[in-house]
Structure 1
Amino acid sequence: MSTALEVTGFLLGVASWLVTGASLANDYWKVSSFSGSVIISSRQYENLWHACAESSSGIAECRDFESLLDLPGYLQACRALMIIALLLGLFSMILSILGLKCITIGSAGDQAKAKMATTGGIIFILAGLCTITAISWYAARIVQDFKDPFSGGIKFELGAGLYMGWGGACLSILGGALLCCACKRASSGKSKGGYYSSSHAAKIHKPVSDSETARAYV
């Protein structure tokens, strides 16, 4: 049962890493709102790297954010958190695959493999927390600007890239939790069994003193 949980947690972690990467590369983090528009001639959308405008004919023109120092602070923080999440996810996948029971690489023992898998699960959870922090922060700014009656210009709504990021974060946290639970259950079961067998063996092979032997003969 623990092996199935480990494999499931690892597969969920790999899927979360792929979905998070796709979310980071997605263009539609925020999309211009059609609310209150009578005639729509173009659509605008942005992500962490560039802003695009798409005409009614389907032709899109994008402009990259050139100056890093000119960007808002929350946008720089979201970039850093997403990149950190991907790096943590890659590192946790390497640790988790080395710690799986069904994969034998090197001469690591069961306890060492359990520790590696548990560490990989914890890092998966940290990667998911980084992703969900970046996505939620970006979404909160969109909602704040949309609800602000004094902000002029174009109103934006939540795009598909944000929903992909939330999905990837949930998969990462769930996969890490499954890895940690499976390895903890396996290690606790082994320790209990080892303690019982050693104590039982000590009781069976308890040495008999000379006085006890003399009493038995008397």
Structure 2
Amino acid sequence: MRYRTTVMYMEIGCFVACLCGWMLVCSTLPTPFWSYSENSGVVITTADFYSNLWMDCLADNTGASACKNYPSMMALSVFLHTCRALAVCAVITGFFGGVLTLIGMKCTKIGGSEIANATVTFAAGITYLLSGLCGMITYSLWANKNITEFMDPLVMNQKYELGAAIFIGWGGSVALILGGAVLTYFSGKEVLSSSSRKRPQRPTSHVSGKTRRTYMLPASSSRMILVPPLLYEGRQSRTTRATTKTGQSDGRDNFV
């Protein structure tokens, strides 16, 4: 009972951690602070440049800002399409992971039996892991591109640094991965232990009016030994009939 209570509180803690991580990942999508660059000149011409998956923004020292969406979706690079797809997958899988966790947690009692709840929680942990991995790959690819272009002396275009959204996304992805890993471990352990306790039992069958006994080896072996008691009896009866026929032929010869 104490173990079940511990697992229940652990599931609640993992759900809260994954929910916070998913919210952090979602908050980074509309913000323009994925990449940051500052053009420092005289006071009048100082400007800040921001960009994210969807738009480029410009803010000057007077507080005025303007954002422009990318002109054509078909003209975007493969890198930007990949980052968009991974970010959207992270949000969608994180949502379904939360739904599955609410169904499979022990405190909600929605999934049904203990084994069914553990199975649903295991699926939720896998879904959270996928969400965290998608988010981590997205932010890592974006950060690697910015760092590579910033360190490359041959790049003459505007150079960007890492924005605040990248670090927020990394934190949310780590929370999703850790929470999903803990959920997967404990729920998978419970499912495996419950399945190992179950042993299939085969009913006894009747051959020629007599019972055939079935002996099963321990759970570590998958072999099954069938020992029908009729084999020895049939063999003994055939030996007896052969001996009787031999005795009758000997008696006939002696008589002659």
- TM-score of the alignment, normalized to the shorter chain, above 0.5: yes
In the TM superposition, what is the alpha-carbon distance from 1:191 to its structure 2 partner? Answer: 5.9
State the match for 1:8 in structure 2: 13
1:150 aligns with 2:154: yes
Q: Secondary structure at the match of 2:110?
A: coil
Kept after mapping to 2: 8 A contact 1:88/1:124: yes
Question: Where do 5+ consecutive residues of structure 2 fail to align?
Answer: 1-5, 199-256
What SS does structure 2 have at the residue aligned with 1:126?
helix
2:79 aligned with 1:79 = no
After TM superposition, the structure 1 = structure 2 runs for residues 11-160 of structure 1, keeping only pairs within 5 Å, are: 11-33=16-38, 37=40, 39=42, 41-105=46-110, 108-160=112-164
**Distance apart, 1:116 and its partner CA:** 0.3
Distance in 2 (CA, whole Å) between partners of 1:60 and 1:133 is: 30
Instruction: Decide whether the 8 Å contact of 1:95 with 1:119 is kept in 2.
Output: yes
Structure 1 runs not aligned, ≥5 long: 196-218
Computed over aligned residues only, the root mean square deviation of the Cα atoms, in angstroms, reads 2.0
Runs of 4+ in 1 over 6 A off after TM superposition: none
Q: Counterpart of 1:205?
A: none
Q: CA deviation at 1:185?
A: 4.0
Distance 2:71 2:94 in 1: 28
**Distance between the aligned counterparts of 1:188 and 1:78, measured in 2?**
37
Amino acid of the residue matched to residue 188 of structure 2? K
Q: Map 1:166-181 onto structure 2 (within 5 A).
A: 166-181=170-185
Q: What's the secondary structure of 1:125's corresponding residue?
A: helix
Hey, what's the Cα distance between the residues in 2 that align with 1:69 and 1:24? 20
Q: Which amino acid aligns with 2:71?
A: E
- Which structure has the bigger radius of gyration? 2
Alpha-carbon displacement from aligned partner over 1:90-144 (angstroms, at most 9, x marks no partner): 11111111000000226x2110110000110011001100000011001111011
CA distance in 2, matches of 1:49, 1:156: 16
- Greater fraction helix: 1
- Distance in 1 of aligned mates of 2:54 and 2:64: 19
Aligned match of 2:165 in 161, 166, 181?
A: 161
Contact 2:115–2:194 under 8 Å retained in 1: no
TM-score between both structures, scaled by the size of structure 1: 0.82
Are the equivalent residues in 2 in contact too, given 1:33–1:155 (CA < 8 A)? no
Percent identity between matched residues is 31
- Alpha-carbon contact 1:3-1:182 (below 8 Å) kept: no
How many residues align? The count is: 193
Checking the alignment, whether the CA contact within 8 Å between 2:49 and 2:56 is kept in structure 1 is yes
Question: Counterpart of 2:155 in 1: which secondary structure?
Answer: coil
